[in-house]
Structure 1
C-alpha cells in the first residue's frame, strides 16, 4: 500500500489469477489429454490469490493440455463454480494467457513483461514497460503462493480436497 511504484496506480487491485500444472495420477486409458509438454500426465489448475498470500478460489480438474483462457472462461461462466468475481470497480491481475475484460487486467502486449527480462540490467522504458514491470511484480504474489504450497508438498492435497468438494 505504501509503495509508490504500485500506489495509486493499482489501488483497486484485489489479487491475481494464474494457472499451474501439477503432476496427476491418471489411469492409462484416460491419460492422453493430460499429457503435458514434459511428457507426463498433469492437471492445469487455476487459482485466485489475494495479497495476504491466501488462495480465495481454485479450479483443480482440467487436463494439462487445456489452455489457461479455457479454464478461466469455464470457471467464470459456471454458476456452480463459486468463482470469485471482482466487486464493481475492483480487478484481478492476469497474465497474457487470460482474456482482457472488465475486472481482469493483463499486461500491455508486445512489450517486455516477465520479471527476468528486467533483471538483465535494463530498466523499463516508456509507460507500457513501466506498467508491465509493476504488473509483473505484483502478479508474482500468486507465483510465490503456488511455490509455497508446492514446496511443502501440500498443494496436491489442497487441490484434491477442493476438487472433491466441487464434485
Structure 2
C-alpha cells in the first residue's frame, strides 16, 4: 500500500507497471480469475511479489526480505500466480481475427508490400532470455551466448501485438526445432494461415546465401536480382517482430 499510495515512479520501478494498470489487473484477477486473498496476504501483495520476482529477477530470499514472508509462502504464491497468468495469456496472446479475413492496413497502405505480401498475416522470430537454472541442469541451456537462456519463439501481427508465444525451450534448442514443434502440437493452438497444408507451403523464409539483413543493404549497393530484392522486402516486413520485442 505504501507503494500504491506513493509516487507513481516507485510502483513503476518496483512492479514494472503504473498504478492504474496494477489496480486494474488486481480487479481482473479477483473478479474474472477468482484469485482470493487471505487473512495475512491480499491479492495485491500476491501480484506484487510475482511482478517483483519477474521484473527484478529476484530470488526467493530476496522476496522474503522485501515482503517479510517465509520462503514456502513466497514459493507457493508465486507458483499459483504463474498458473493464473498462463491462463490469462490464452485470452490475450492470440489473433484478433483468427480467420485472417482482412489485409493488414500496414501492408495495404505501403507500396513496398502490396500486392506481394497482401496475404501475409504476421512475422515469426526467436529471442534468448536469460534464465536462472540450478548448476546441475545448466548445460542444455548454455548456448552461443555463454550464459543459461531460454529460447523463446513468438509471432506478432503488423499492429505490433503478439499473437503467439512459446516459452521454456533450452537455449541450445534450434529455432527450427521449436518452430516445428509449435506448428505440429495441436494443444498449443498455433495461429496457422488459412487453408493450411501439411507441408511448409505457407511459411515464407528468405533466400539463403544472399544478403538479407537491412544493415547489409544500407552499407552496400542496392539489391539486385529477384532473390536480393525479395530478401530486402522480407527483412523489412519481418522487422516488425524485432520492434515488437524491443517495445
TM range (shorter): 0.7 to 0.9
Task: Choose which of 107, 126, 133 in structure 1 pairs with 2:232.
Answer: 133
Deviations 1:118-160 (CA, angstroms, capped at 9, x unpaired): 0104110111111110000000000111111xxxxxxxxxxxx
Where does the alignment leave 5 or more consecutive residues of structure 2 unmatched?
1-107
Deviations 1:3-29 (CA, angstroms, capped at 9, x unpaired): 211100000001001111110111111
Determine if the alignment matches structure 1 residue 29 to structure 2 residue 136: yes
Pairwise CA RMSD: 1.4
CA distance in 2 between counterparts of 1:121 and 1:60 reads: 36
Q: Which runs of 4+ in 1 moved over 3 A?
A: none
CA distance in 1 between counterparts of 2:231 and 2:146 reads: 32
Matches within 5 A, 1:31-110: 31-88=138-195, 101-110=200-209
Structure that is richer in strand per residue:
1
Task: Choose which of 217, 238, 242 in structure 2 pairs with 1:118.
Answer: 217
TM-score scaled to structure 1, two decimals?
A: 0.79
Give the greater-gyration-radius structure (CA).
2
Displacement of 1:38 in angstroms is 2.1
Displacement of 1:116 in angstroms is 1.1
Where does the alignment leave 5 or more consecutive residues of structure 1 unmatched?
90-99, 149-167
The structure, 1 or 2, with the larger RCO (C-alpha pairs under 8 Å, 6+ apart) is 1
CA distance in 2 between counterparts of 1:68 and 1:83 reads: 15
Secondary structure at 2:187 match in 1: coil
Structure that is richer in helix per residue:
2
CA distance in 2 between counterparts of 1:17 and 1:140 reads: 10
Which region of structure 1 is more displaced relative to structure 2, 57-66 or 113-122?
A: 113-122
Q: Counterpart of 1:162?
A: none
CA distance in 2 between counterparts of 1:108 and 1:121 reads: 18
CA distance in 2 between counterparts of 1:76 and 1:131 reads: 25
Deviations 1:73-128 (CA, angstroms, capped at 9, x unpaired): 11111111111111138xxxxxxxxxx82121011122111111101041101111
Q: Counterpart of 1:160?
A: none
TM-score scaled to structure 2, two decimals?
A: 0.54
Number of residue pairs the alignment of both structures matches? 138
